[in-house]
A and B are shown apart, each in its own frame.
Chain A
Amino acid sequence: MARIGVFTCWCGENVARHVDIEKVTETVAQMPGVRCSINYKYMCSDPGQAQIRDKIQSERLTGLVVASCSPHMHLKTFRKAAQTAGLNPYLVEMANIREHCSWVHHNREEATAKALDLIRMSVEKVKRDHELVPIRVPLTRRALVIGGGVAGIQAALDIADAGHEVALVEREPSIGGKMAGLSETFPTLDCSQCILTPRMVEVGQHPNIKLYTYSEVESVEGYVGNFKITIRQKARYVDMVKCTGCGDCWNSCPIKKNLSEFDCGMGFRKAIYIPFPQAVPARPVIDRLACTRLKRGTGCGLCEKKCQAKAINFADEDKLVVEQAGAVIVATGYKLYNIAKEQDNAQLSGYGEYGYGKYKDVIDALQFERLVSASGPTGGEIKRPSDGKIPQSVVFIKCVGSRDNAKGLAYCSKICCMYTAKHTMLYKHKTPGGEAHVFYMDIRAGGKAYDEFVRRAIEQDGAKYYRGRVSKITEENGKLIVRGADTLAGAPVTIEADMVVLAVAMRPADGVHALAQKLNVGYDEFGFLSESHPKLRPVETNAAGVFICGACHAPKDIPEAVAQASAAAGKTLVMFGREELTREPEIARINEQTCAACYTCVRGCPYTAIERAETLTPKGVHVKYTARVNEGLCMGCGTCVALCPSKSAELEGFTEQQIYSMVESLMT
């Protein structure tokens, strides 16, 4: 006979405001199988949990229903409480009378009735729960970090310093990411490369870090603790071992006019090149689309002739390498919103009126970073792209693509307010007498020493801020005519500028969706990867063992990306600190006696968790073919349960009998 305890929570006023808790408690006490029914203001608090523990023991409860918030929020809490009191944690059910009831129904009588229905269903469900034991899986204590920007570097170093091996995969020829190209960083104005490049060197030399540059993740198999990742090492045409990085090859290369990706198209590089002098690894790569030898198959070969180490290999091919890892950290970063050219998304329409791509002196923020950087194409002198003159008046436009539901993206890109203030400062410091004009929507400068920084730009360095948008930019007699509004003054503003810098929205990097699909990680409507819980699990994802950090998750600045990277590394280390992993046992099971071995479930499983198997007698004689669930891979999604025509697939904790009983309880 079932002895169910029902614990109804007020959730402060969250539930109690619209649900008659007393009535619920009394009515529930009369339900068949319910041994005790009590309520408390905060069931999740220590005194609340203590009551649960006491009742489990004093009433010898066989099942528990907590009527409160969502299982997502507190199922673990209550399972732990049950376990402490000696009850199998999988005999705990939650009736969500907050999100599913009091938050959405404000008629007290109806909300109370619905709360009762929800509890009634849970009581019926818990009666048919049975004890489950977590599944144990072995663990590989190696991590894979995808993306070698500042976030990926931080995460890799943290894990490697803790004594575990890390494979770091970077798509570009060098690690460093976007930060390597920045000039100086807010709010302290320390030089970006001065703080990043030593970290890059550390990665390159760390005995625990295996670096895969110019490589991409090809496929991911396996599951938490036991991932098997195939990495595609793109043909570099340079032998990484033989090469000494002396530079004879790129100094001799005659193909000079290739736009430099690292300089955001503001400078040029050779066909064989290292992206920037401080690159890690300091080994060049041949751009196969630019190199005449690779294009034609014969000719040139100057680099090969000059190379004394015999490191050039024109016959190089992509290689596939397999890495084992227990955890994966995604740190793939961001790209900029495409301002004027073709959009990859039908909802975006670009900002053709700003003339980006048409007027040479309208540039984006990352291009400006290269212009002010000491390692940039102008050596840090701010010269405008069209004629190399020093601009005497620069207009900075914020929120280009951000916070624009009509043409761009709904979200705030978060860092533009700060770097625009920084840009005005750097410009003013380098150009005495120059004018910096900023068009903004709001100034968002939350953060340590951030608002002070913006005030400094305005008050000490004299940047002129206009609250308003720019409607159009035209070019007249070598000047850019910027027409905008100053909404605080209530007047239109026209500025004759020499250069315009657009603070363009941040978007997730290209290819992240394909990667997310390989890893079974969710992403939002803008393509940013989804965390498991916005507050309590900010670096975890819903794919166990996969963590995220940096701008692939949302727009963020360097300190935040680094903090998150260390958090992801920390979570990985927590995992690596365990003897073995346990997985929730609420997975699918196949009834091998009734399985007809049609293998529809095998083909339909999104996690490739079901295998073709054979039922054998204890002596090993074939009885029949059957489908079988791999406990390590099954995520408990229930696709097989829905697909199986003979209902031979069941989900533990959500059996068909349980669902039927729940539905039936509503009919009576």
Chain B
Amino acid sequence: MIVDQLRELCARLLSEGTAQVVIGYGQAAPGKPAYPVFIRRAEDADQLVWNDQCMTNLAATLKRREVKALGKPAVIVKGCDERALIMLAKESQIVRANIYVIGVECNGAGRPAMAKCASCDVHVPRWTDTVIRETESQAAAVRTTPSSARYADLEAFMRKTPEARLAFWRAEFGRCVKCYACRQVCPLCYCERCIADKNRPCVIDTSATPKGNFAWHITRAFHLAARCAGCDECARACPAHIDLRLLNLALAAAAEDHFGWRAGMDPEAEPPAGAYSLKDKEDFIG
């Protein structure tokens, strides 16, 4: 069982001193959503769980000051979480060598499985220190990988008229209460002062008005363009159930179309927005 291997590894890492804290999943009761736990003593390793409720992207915890204060972390990642980890390393937010990464094979999280899982093509994390895999029979039973269907939902949406799309977003954003949960759970929203909190000048209206909500969601999406690793934590965290996944998909599709780029897929590749090259396309200049 994966969970046994996880607990054993966790205890070993802590007792050997390879890591000071192991960031993994805990659960109040079977069937309930798992939450992050921070194991600091080898004897607490049996708090760890592993099942289809382990949806949280634990990479997001690494940006937090209180987590950094715990010392060298070992973190459990699924394939999708690992993409965020790679982006964090690209953006100098973590030093890969200072983190022990435990990869776990995942063939779908959530019940029913989250939307992203249907077209997942990173079931097994690749740039980890250790990978724990399921047995062949278990893996074959759950895995579905039509990765060509990555943008199926977006394509269906884009077939609507522009008016219908605008009406859709009006309704979606109309429900936003500006709680910023989407920002707080995002592994890549790590700015110390978010642009939404800047008030001289005030770029984004702070109140939850249609104007302020549009400004916030469009800015959030733009700031994550070619960076969003597609973990969909924002959509899962949103109390108003705004379809943020669709917005993220649109920008991911644009990055893939124009720059052949998928965030966090290749730790060697240079991100399109953060690299200056004389070969940069200039066809947008009249």
Contact = CB atoms under 8 A, between A and B. Distances in A.
Given A596-B192, A646-B192, A604 B278 contact: no
B270 interface: yes
A604 B193 contact: no
Nearest to A656: B201
Contacts of A600: 91, 271, 273-274
B138 to A, nearest CB: 39
Interface in A174-211: none
A: contact size bracket: 20 to 34
Contacts of A647: 195, 198, 203
A625 B275 CA distance: 20
B: contact size bracket: 20 to 34
* Most chain B beta-carbon neighbours within 10 Å: one of A594, A625, A645, A648: A645
Contacts of B203: 647, 656
Nearest to B201: A660
Interface string A635-660: 00001000101111000000011001
B273 A643 contact: yes
A599 interface: yes
Contacts of A341: none
B157 interface: no
Contact of B200 (A596, A645, A657): A657
Contacts, number: 60
Given A603-B276, A604-B274, A606-B276, A645 B92 contact: no
A603 B192 contact: no
A573 B91 CA distance: 44
Nearest to A591: B193
A603 B194 contact: no
Contacts of B273: 600, 604, 643
Interface in A403-417: none
A66 B38 CA distance: 63
A517 B276 CA distance: 13
Interface in A507-522: 517
B130 interface: no
B200 A604 contact: no
Nearest to A607: B276
A597 B192 CA distance: 10
A322 interface: no
* Most chain A beta-carbon neighbours within 10 Å: one of B190, B275, B276: B276
B165 interface: no
Interface in B188-206: 190-195, 198, 200-201, 203
B198 A599 contact: no
Contacts of A596: 93, 190-192
A183 to B, nearest CB: 40
A555 B148 CA distance: 55
B12 interface: no
Given A597-B92, A599-B91, A657-B201, A646 B274 contact: no
A598 B93 contact: yes
A416 B271 CA distance: 50
A603 B201 contact: no
Interface in B171-195: 190-195
B223 interface: yes
A605 B276 CA distance: 7
Nearest to B224: A645
B194 to A, nearest CB: 7
Contacts of B276: 603-606, 639
Interface string B258-274: 00000000000011011
Interface in B231-286: 270-271, 273-276, 278
Contact of A643 (B92, B190, B270, B274): B274
A594 B275 CA distance: 22
A38 B264 CA distance: 60
A603 B270 contact: yes
A603 B198 contact: no
Nearest to B194: A646
Contacts of A656: 201, 203
B275 A603 contact: yes
A647 B193 CA distance: 9
A604 B223 contact: no
A604 B275 contact: yes
Contact of B278 (A517, A593, A598, A625): A517
Nearest to B270: A603
Interface in B79-120: 91-93
13 contacts: A595-B192, A596-B190, A598-B93, A598-B190, A599-B92, A606-B276, A643-B273, A643-B274, A645-B191, A646-B192, A656-B201, A656-B203, A657-B201
Interface of B: 91-93, 190-195, 198, 200-201, 203, 223, 270-271, 273-276, 278
Given A599-B91, A603-B275, 11 more contacts: A594-B191, A598-B190, A599-B274, A600-B271, A600-B273, A600-B274, A604-B275, A643-B273, A645-B191, A656-B203, A661-B201
8 pairs of A and B residues whose beta carbons are closest in the complex: A646-B191, A660-B201, A598-B91, A594-B193, A600-B274, A603-B274, A596-B191, A645-B223
